Amino acid sequence: MAQQSGNDLKAVMEKLLQAFEDEVDSELPHREVLDHIFRILKANKEKIISEPPEVGKREKLPELLRSIGDALQQCKARSKQQQSESDKAKSKKMTMPSVSDCNPFKSRPSQLSVDPLLEQTIAILGDVPPPSPSPDQDAGEETVTEYYEWTTSYVDESRIYGWDKEANEVVDALVGKEGEDEDQVLFRTAGIAGIHGSGKTALAQKVFVHDRIKDAFPLRLWVCVGPPDHEDRFNLLYRMLDNLGLDTAKVEDIVDKADVVVKAATDEDKDKSRIGVLLFILYVTLYKTGYLIVFDDIRAYSDWYSNLTLQPPKDGEWYERLAYGLPKARKSAVLVTCRSEDGAGVMVRTGGVFHPPKLEGEEGWKLFHREYKEAKDKDKGEEEEEDKLYKELQEMKEEIIGKCLGLPVGIVQAAKGFAALEHEPEADAKDNAAADQAATSKDRTWTCN
């Protein structure tokens, strides 16, 4: 009976996988999360019979598969709806929208979210990491992951360590020091600069979830700017508007029907006008509330990102600067992170530029411990004997963190590297060392002769 049940689950998985494969060329909403979910299903399709989940998790699996199927159908329906609305918009007569039209919130009974489904899938079937980069990829080249695909307001506070003093300093720059009139300045800026892996994003996250920040700004938005979107202004603005609750299909309809776009003479002028309309829509959407926006990992130090304190022009082109889409009428702030201190200064102007300090001592070891244990957990079996290697590493923790120069990226890589090693008992280690020494001595004798 259990075997038949396993076969039934396998058949459902195969049907779901085929349905998802049929959409390989479709522009599905939440594509990256769906890819992750179906990567897990594919890896567990055969194991569902030979290595089924424990009883409690197995009972939840049929309902999970039904939910995944429903989510896929909703994503397919939304994709078709957006395409249909886009086609209709292009066939209609183009007119300039009114200001009231530029707040195009979608009226919908429920918000489709597949993130909880991913969490449930991982809880029941375990996680499956994305494929490793190809061997011909440059070792120094950064792998672009889904981290850059989404704009969000969620930060996992449990994964942020240390830097309380530094975070407070950045908060003071964005909100004002405690005790002073915080409402005296309506718009503030600050930057965090440092080399790759120095902890710019982690420090910005620490600021993002700070209690004073939450109290000061009703709206907080985290925008991942890094590759591939650092030069893709359309994608950046559409992602921001989508996360602010706007229906991007309706936004596209408004943009394409805008008089300034319709009358543009060349394709280049049309693109510039579209950027201007998108910035105007962003401005109108943000105007009624105080906000904090974090632009993380900006790498294009162009005029478009410069001087975020500027007001929009009364007579002029809106497309020229991101700053024009950021209203300064209410207490608001912008925080940027980038690798260039000069670039950060150009963007925030009079705002301060801060640097993440080295992650040392117990805070550095917390990060090492977390990454080491997570790497070990991926390969552990049913029961795991005491980790003797970790005990030895604990005795050398100050040396390990020191060798990493306090850089979070160095600590993470060191932890993963040690986690991949097998512990060698002390007696065996001495024997191996003696054998190596004897071999070296023999080589030297042979060489002298």
Tens-digit pLDDT profile for residues 268-303: 999 999 999 999 999 999 998 999 999 998 987 788
Other beta carbons within 10 angstroms of residue 293's beta carbon come to 22
So what's the pLDDT on residue 351? 87
Closest CA to 118 of 243, 55, 34, 17: 34
Task: Name the fold adopted by 157-354.
Answer: Rossmann fold (3.40.50)
So what's the pLDDT on residue 370? 86
So what's the pLDDT on residue 182? 61
For 28-32, 384-388, 440-444, which range has the lowest pLDDT when averaged over its residues? Answer: 440-444
Tell me the per-residue pLDDT of 168-216, one tens digit each, with 9 for 90 and over.
999 999 999 887 766 677 899 999 999 888 889 889 999 998 999 999 9
DSSP summary character for residue 246: B
Q: Is the overall model pTM greater than 0.85, yes or no? A: no
Distances (CA, A) of 186 to 169, 170, 211, 330, 337: 18, 16, 19, 6, 21
24 pLDDT higher than 90: no
Q: What angle do CA 128, 129, 134 make, to 5 degrees?
A: 135
Closest CA to 143 of 156, 129, 153: 129
Closest CA to 282 of 219, 348, 344: 219
Two tokens at 114?
A: 């597949």
What pLDDT band is residue 257 in, cutting at 50, 70 and 90?
very high
What residue ranges do the domains of the chain occupy? 1-84+115-125, 157-354, 361-379+389-420
So what's the pLDDT on residue 380? 57
How far apart CA 363 and CA 365 sit, in angstroms, is 5
Residues ≥6 apart with Cβ < 8 Å to 356: 163, 166, 192, 194, 198, 199, 200, 202, 203
